[in-house]
Each structure stands twice: as C-alpha cells, then as structure tokens.
Amino acid sequence: MKVLSIQSAVAYGHVGNSAAVFPLQRIGVEVLPVYTVNFSNHTGYGAWRGPLISPDDVAAVIAGIEDRGVFPEIDVVLSGYQGGEGIADVIIDTVARVKKANPDAVYACDPVMGNAKSGCFVAPAIPELLRERVVPVADILTPNQFELGFLTGTEPGSIESTLESADALRARGPRTILATSVERPDREPDTIEMMVVDDAGAWIVQTPLIPMKANGSGDVTAALFTAHYRRSGGDAADALARTASSVFDLLSNTYEAGSRELRLIESQEAYAHPRLQFSVRQVR
C-alpha cells in the first residue's frame, strides 16, 4: 500500500506527518509525505519557528512525485492540518489526478479545525473551506466530535444523534465517517469512544479516558484507521478495533512517562501488534 500524505511537519515532537508517517511505516505502508508547514514544534506551545509552505511549493513537490510516474500506485491520499487557505485547492486537484491515474484510490481527510476543549485553532477561513469544498470530495472523513458538529451544524452526543450527524455528512459525499473523541452523556464514567459509520453499518468502541491533552493523537488515529480500513477491504469493525488498541497504548505510554509529546517511537509495537483489548459493538 502507498499513501500520499499531505500534512504539517514539525522538527520537535509528533503532529501531522511527524505523527502519521512512522506508525504507517511500522505496519508496512509506504508513505510519501508532503509538508504543508515546516515548524520547529506544534503551535500548542504558543511559540514556534519555521515557514508555512506556499500552495505553489506544495503543488510543485506533488508534481515532482507525479513526474516519477507514481500516481497509478497510490492507494490513498491522506490530508490533515492544511496551514494556509490555498492548500485545499492543491489537495483537491491532487485527489482528482491520483484518481484519474488509479480509479481505485481513495481520499481520506482528517478535517483538522479544533476540539471541544480548545475551540478552533486554525485560520478563520479554514473551517468553512473544509465544509464547502473539501468534504464533498472525500471518501473517508475522520472528524472529532467537535468537528463533526461544526461540519453538520448539529450537536452530536448520544449514539442516535452521532449517527444522524454522520449520516448528514455522508449525504454530502464521504461514504465512511470515523467520529473520534465521542463523549456521550450516558456513557460509563471516565471513558471515551470512537464510532465508524459506512454503507455496511455502524460500530462503536469504548476505551478508558486518559486524562491528558495529546497533540498529534488524532493524526495517528486517522492514519492508522485509514490504512487498516483500506487494507481489510472495508472491514470497519476490524479497523476500529486495531486503531483503538494502538492509540490507547500510545496514549497510555505517553501519560505514564509524563511526556507532553507522544511517545511515538517507544510505542511502535502497539502499531505492529495491537493487543485488540477492546470490544467493538455494532450499533446499526
């Protein structure tokens, strides 16, 4: 499997491609990383150095990859944090060209905008741009609960309302929705859930809630779920079980180490050999 991953990069820590690439490689996926920013560290520190990469420069890197004749071999285009506004046009154009070269390729979009605790942390134009232009061309979408609500104008909470929100989003283009960081009012205490909805049904998995903020965990989640889902031929329950297991162990290792940055390398066995310690329940 080959994944063209268009995301941010940091020198210190693990977000964007700096979070997604290694776990994918560890499960045997070839990754072609293209950077939208090249920062010293993630912006959660409040200070960082390095450039936003211009849309023209991002497009030039992708054109150089296309020149090598690789597009027919690409199975997935993956995008995350986009940086500047013009990156969306580059991604949309790239998806069209990859799908022309390989009609079986899919586009997986992690619509990074923010979260329930921090609110939006992207440029003001990005959320609307994602909703109106990027979502309709995606095949797989991996919003957290906050982003799912923004994209649909709803307030997902219960299983039923989360399903309704996912269906509203699926009606706009994406066939597969992975909703992350789902916190139902009626869930068991100190737990958190992920739900996946596709044409075959809907499944939910519950894990203990680890009391920490972990920048980059959503990037790892989107990458691993997309790879497992694609590799399994669309087995949503299996992809959800593997992803939940790997990400939980990654977060547990990070929390136990008292680290602000993900213990990404130290947790590599969790990606390669997930323990599958959490049951996945079909809810539709």
> Which two tokens mark 7?
């995301």
pLDDT at 126: 74
pLDDT at 117: 60
pLDDT at 82: 75
Rg (CA), the chain: 17
Q: 10-residue block means of pLDDT along the chain (284 residues)?
A: 97 98 98 96 94 95 98 97 83 98 97 67 71 92 92 88 95 96 92 97 98 93 98 98 98 98 98 98 96
pLDDT at 196: 98
pLDDT in tens, 195-234: 999 999 999 999 999 999 899 999 999 999 999 999 999 9
All structural domains of the chain, each given as residue ranges with its CATH number in brackets, are 2-282 (3.40.1190.20)
Angle, helices 145-152 vs 159-170, to 10°: value is 50
pLDDT at 131: 84
Q: Give which of 264, 224, 211 is closest to 80, Cα–Cα.
A: 224
End-to-end C-alpha distance for the chain, whole angstroms: 30
pLDDT at 84: 67
Q: Are 39 and 50 in contact (CB under 8 A)?
A: yes
Q: Give which of 218, 224, 191, 220 is closest to 206, Cα–Cα.
A: 191
pLDDT in tens, 164-175: 999 999 999 999
pLDDT at 29: 98
CA gap 51, 148 in Å, rounded? 29
pLDDT at 115: 62
